[in-house]
Structure 1
Amino acid sequence: MDLDWLKDFLVLAEQKNFSRAAEARNVTQPAFSRRIRALEDWVGTPLFLRGGQGAALTPAGSYFQPLAADLARDLEQARRGARAAGDQETTDLSIAATHAISFTFFPGWIRRHMSFEALGGLSLSSDSLQACEQIMLSGEAHFLLCHYHADAPMRLDPDRYPSLQVGRDVLIPLCAPGADGSPLWPMPGRDTKPIRHLAYSQASGLGRILAAHPAGRRQTADMETVITSHLAATLMTMARQGQGVAWLPRTLAEDELSRGRLIRAGSDDFDIAIEIRLFRSRERRNRAADDLWSNLLANQI
């Protein structure tokens, strides 16, 4: 029995839909379905009723759900404790970071604040915010580096995962220029031609911010969503191709803006100021993590 099977089971019990649960677990739906089937084979009875309306727990599944939650939590706690005990004196550093941050902000930031000669090793896990939060909750990283806005809730308890602002950014609605240099998809748009929205998926932290911010929520409600992705880089490429408007971090789109391949779709009234924030695990600690945190506290922006 694989611990991931228990995690899959718990997410599917919550989501009640294979497609949404597979996305939340960051795996393909066929692979996710195989893992659920493997768990059912291991238990020896079906745990879900599958139908056109989704997936519902069987009586066996309802009985198994609280036991699986307790078992997954206990196993994760045991792993975190053992890792912390063995990790205390190492100089390795593990950081989870969202994709957009990994490509742009992270390399210069870590070089300014850490001496690579003093590190035993640096591990960077780049993924969606949803996946990075899970990495932190599972005790697999010392830090999470991501975009942040106070209106968008995080899954990390601030008592267990204190945080610091380490940078600033802004989400800007961008699109390709037309032949005359004006926006191909001008905002706020016209009733006769809805603006095409290149949207973030549920797993994306930037999508979470856009959905939670009043200005973003109000504007996107009148737009036609043509694609969803948790990758800002994918949406940027599609915006450059003229497929619609994407709210992109300035740090990611700076080069495209300077080259004129992307331009503002509207005024800066549609911009959303955001933070770049570092979250720390109180439970996963070692000397390298303590040194980085102390350095940041001493040099807060």
Structure 2
Amino acid sequence: MELLWLEDFNALVESENFSRAAQLRHVTQPAFSRRIRALESWVGVELFVRTPQGATLTEAGRSMLDNARELTRRLYQMRADVQQVAGKASRTLHFAATHSLSFTFFPAWIRAVENGTPLEGISLHSDNMAACEQLLLSGEVQFLICHQHPGVPPRFDSLQFESKVIGNDALLALQSPELDTAQRIPFLAYTAESGLGRIVASHLHAHPDHPRLETVFSSHLAAVLLSMALQAKGVAWLPETLAAQEVAQGRLVAVGNGLQNISAQIRVFRPRMPLGDHGERFWTSLQDVQTA
């Protein structure tokens, strides 16, 4: 048994697709598939049903899921605890944050949290939502910072994870003033790996009477969609924290046409299991932000 097999198992459960899971794990798909087969060989049963549409857990795989996630987190925590006892532990806080929040929200937020007393060490992993979730689930980071919306429940068991609100944001329906949406509304969409995409999809599902959108481009990066919107390629729901300057300058304007803005929270998630003295002190110092 190898730890990376459990990490691969968790990644495939989240993505339900061998190709996407291999990308999350930064290996080739054939190598990833061999490691999943090795895990199945070790436990002695098939854990996934393979179909052309992807991979889903067998009954045996479902019975293993909670233990696999918990064991992975505990192994990482055990290493941190042992290093702390030996006096070798780095007093570094490990964060994962989605791309848009890494560039726009995190720097100012962490300065405010430090409040003139710099933290000894900070490690920030920036990626799409699916990858960030995997980092937290596997125990490779202590904290995950992401957008959250009431219509999209977190993919974390509330018995094993908790969160605090650390900011508010809005996804603004924006377009270039040069874009003509009278005949059609070209839509700049988020991909399935994007947390913002889940929020937009939930909003559209809850408002089935919205104008018809014609998807012309997709990306998991809000910054890429912003760039395409500036080039009058379509309309996009963009975080206010990212697009505020372009809106102030008039380079992007509200779409109208019945497309509403979407309110969202910015939350930091952590596992309920102990994070060590340094991590727990940091968590205790955080104050919930009043929601808008």
- The alignment's TM-score, normalised by the length of structure 2, stands at 0.79
Provide structure 1 residue ranges, at least 5 long, that are not aligned to the other structure. Answer: 179-183
Following TM superposition, by how much is the alpha carbon of 1:197 offset from its aligned partner in structure 2, in angstroms?
Answer: 1.1
CA distance in 2, matches of 1:292, 1:145: 14
Q: 1:65 to 1:296 in 2, by over 3 A?
A: closer
Match of 1:181 in 2: none
Aligned match for 1:78, one of 63, 72, 75 = 75
Distance 1:16 1:168 in 2: 31
- What's the counterpart of residue 135 of structure 2? 135
**Residue 252 of structure 2 corresponds to residue 262 of structure 1:** yes
Quick one: distance in 1 between partners of 2:158 and 2:216?
36
Please list, as runs of the form range in 1=range in 2, the aligned pairs for 1:53-68 lying within 5 A after superposition: 53-54=52-53, 65=61
Contact conserved, 1:3 with 1:72, CA < 8 A, in 2? no
Q: What is the rounded CA distance, in whole Å, between the counterparts of 2:50 and 2:283 in structure 1?
A: 48
Please report how far the alpha carbon of residue 185 of structure 1 lies from its aligned counterpart in structure 2 after TM superposition: 4.4
> Which aligned runs of 4 or more in structure 1 are off by greater than 6 angstroms?
13-16, 47-51, 61-64
Aligned residue in 2 for 1:157: 157
Give the match's secondary structure for 1:162. Answer: strand
Aligned to 2:148: 148
Aligned residue runs from structure 1 range 131-280, under 5 A: 131-178=131-178, 184-186=179-181, 193-214=183-204, 218=208, 222-266=212-256, 270-280=260-270
Q: Which amino acid aligns with 1:81?
A: M
CA distance in 1, matches of 2:116, 2:75: 30
Contact 2:100 2:242 in 1 (8 A): yes
The answer (yes or no) to whether the contact 1:149–1:274 under 8 Å persists in 2 is yes
Cα distance, 1:277–1:92 mapped onto 2, change above 3 Å: same
Unmatched 5+ residue regions in structure 2? none
In 1, Cα distance between the equivalents of 2:167 and 2:136? 20
Give identity over the alignment, percent.
38
Backbone CA RMSD of aligned residues: 3.6
Q: 1:26 to 1:198 in 2, by over 3 A?
A: farther
In 2: Cα distance, 1:150 partner to 1:49 partner = 32
